[in-house]
């Protein structure tokens, strides 16, 4: 049995995910391939949420495998659009693609493989002037707040 710290586990998962992209990325994408120096380069983009860890993973993967990764954090919609248009090898999105998006990508020539990379939490915050004690939110109160 191998035990990994959470940070090493996340790094390993990232390297596996990016390595998988190197193997399954679209070969017909523009801007992909090998540069003049012989270095393999992958282009990706999309969600800004994943960018901080993507920057760490791309450095680690480059050090380990010599593959350059250019990730442009321009939003989930941009990542989906560019990946569908095959201008990048991989796109990141905060949520899985919808049925219509998947169908559009398939029509353009490629099946999409969803690979979960990271997860995050949504935390309610409040600012109530003059409040003398912390608020306690129950599940039903939070649901009512989010539902308006």
Across residues 76-105, what is the average pLDDT? 95
Q: What is the pLDDT of residue 9?
A: 46
For the chain, list the domains and their CATH numbers.
Answer: 6-107 (3.40.190.10)
pLDDT in tens, 27-37: 445 555 665 66
Q: How far apart are CA 73 and CA 79, in angstroms?
A: 8
Q: How far apart are CA 127 and CA 73, in angstroms?
A: 30
Across residues 8-27, what is the average pLDDT? 47
Please name the residues in contact with 6: beta carbons below 8 A apart, sequence gap of 6 or more.
none
Q: How far apart are CA 126 and CA 83, in angstroms?
A: 38
Q: Which two tokens stand for residue 121?
A: 């939490």
Q: What is the pLDDT of residue 79?
A: 96
pLDDT in tens, 96-112: 999 999 999 999 988 89
Please name the residues in contact with 85: beta carbons below 8 A apart, sequence gap of 6 or more.
108
């Amino acid at each position: 049995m191998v035990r990994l710290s959470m940070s090493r586990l996340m790094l390993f998962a990232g390297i596996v995910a990016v390595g998988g992209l190197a193997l399954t990325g679209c070969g017909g994408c523009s801007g992909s391939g090998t540069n003049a120096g012989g270095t393999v380069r992958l282009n990706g983009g999309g969600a800004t949420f994943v960018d901080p860890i993507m920057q760490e993973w791309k450095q680690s993967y480059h050090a380990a495998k010599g593959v350059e990764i250019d990730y442009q954090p321009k939003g989930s919609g941009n990542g989906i659009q560019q990946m569908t248009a095959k201008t990048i090898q991989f796109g990141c999105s905060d949520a899985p693609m919808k049925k219509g998006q998947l169908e559009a990508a398939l029509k353009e020539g490629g099946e999409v493989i969803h690979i979960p990379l990271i997860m995050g939490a949504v935390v309610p915050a409040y600012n109530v002037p003059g409040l003398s004690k912390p608020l306690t939110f129950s599940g039903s109160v939070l649901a009512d707040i989010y539902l308006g």
